[in-house]
Amino acid sequence: MRLHKKIAIVTGGGGGFGEGIARMFAAEGAHVIVADLDIAAATRVAAEIGGLAIQGDVSVGADVQAMVDLAVAHYDGLDIVVNNAGTTHRNGPILDVDEETFDRVYAVNVKSLYWMTHSCVPLFRRQGRGGSIINISSTAGIRPRPGLVWYNGTKGAVNTMTQCMAIELAPDNIRVNAVCPVIGATGLLESFMGQADTPEIRAKFVASVPLGRMSKPSDIANACVFLAEDQSSFLTGVLLPVDGGRTA
């Protein structure tokens, strides 16, 4: 198994891409902490994969520290962090997003990386066996669509932070990479499309993906397993589009 006995935290692991990542990590032998705002969802996934659930908001420093503390208390360490939890404003004109929504999108998508870095990097350094941080970014940070200006900005920030962190943390063998999915049919889909989820609207979005479909949780999970495992030990600072050619 590719992640045998590795210890991983997956934020937003209660649904969507995060659930797919948590499931595949467990299938590859990892001990998985499923962290989510929605404790019922996290508990369901954790029970099904033999992992641990924790309720927490990734934009709150104490909650993020509790996720890392749980890994140490229960599994005696940590090897992999997947910063997956994310949110968006509804697709629409640039002036229609209010300040509260803007602040929330930045807190969940960007400040979360600040908190997780503060919680996991000191531990990785103490353990002395490196670590793998995987940020779930988006094609929106590479080739943005109109209507999601502020959300796209958060993913641009995630991409830049991924590259900077990779360089700064390389001497500790802490690898930092990003996975950049194209649109997928998760809980965020309608907000991304900004209109009702109909076959016609889906077809419009799929038309810009050369391989002709949306991304699936298993596509994102496969990329995460690769970036987490030792086979990718020389990869850091990579922004990996999982996008059927959308950004090519």
Ligand X SMILES: NC(=O)c1ccc[n+]([C@@H]2O[C@H](COP(=O)([O-])OP(=O)(O)OC[C@H]3O[C@@H](n4cnc5c(N)ncnc54)[C@H](O)[C@@H]3O)[C@@H](O)[C@H]2O)c1
**Catalytic site includes residue 151:** yes
Q: For 230, which DSSP code? A: G
Q: Which residue has the tokens 């990996």?
A: 240
Helix (H/G/I), strand (E/B), else coil: 193:
helix
Q: Is 176 helix (H, G, I), strand (E, B) or coil?
A: strand
Q: Does 152 bind ligand X (CB under 6 A)?
A: no
**Binding segment (CB under 6 A) for ligand X, from list 33-41, 94-102, 198-206, 224-232:** 33-41
H or E, element range at 11: strand 7-11
What character string, x for contact with ligand X (CB under 6 A) and - otherwise, covers 163-202? ------------------x-xx-xxxx--x----------
Q: With respect to ligand X, which residue has the nearer C-beta, 127 or 150?
A: 150
Check binding of 87 to ligand X (CB under 6 A): yes
Of 102-141, which residues contact ligand X (CB under 6 A)?
108, 136, 138
Provide the pairing of β-strand 52-55 with 80-83: unpaired
Quote the CA–CA distance of 33 and 54 in Å, as a whole number: 7
Instruction: Report the distance separating Cα 195 and Cα 176, nearest Å.
Output: 35
Q: Tell me how many residues contact ligand X (CB under 6 A).
A: 30
Among the listed ranges 16-24, 117-125, 165-173, 194-202, the one in contact with ligand X (CB under 6 A) is 16-24
CA dist., res. 138 & res. 121, Å (int): 23
Minimum distance from CB of 70 to ligand X (Å)?
A: 14
| The only residue of 7, 84, 142, 227 in contact with ligand X, by rule CB under 6 A | 84
Within the chain, residue ranges assigned H as helices are 16-27, 39-49, 61-75, 99-106, 112-127, 149-169, 189-193, 199-206, 217-228
Which residue in the set 32, 54, 58, 68 belongs to the binding site for ligand X (CB under 6 A)? 58
Catalytic residues: 151
Catalog residues that contact ligand X under the rule CB under 6 A.
11-12, 14-18, 36-38, 41, 56-59, 84-87, 108, 136, 138, 181, 183-184, 186-189, 192
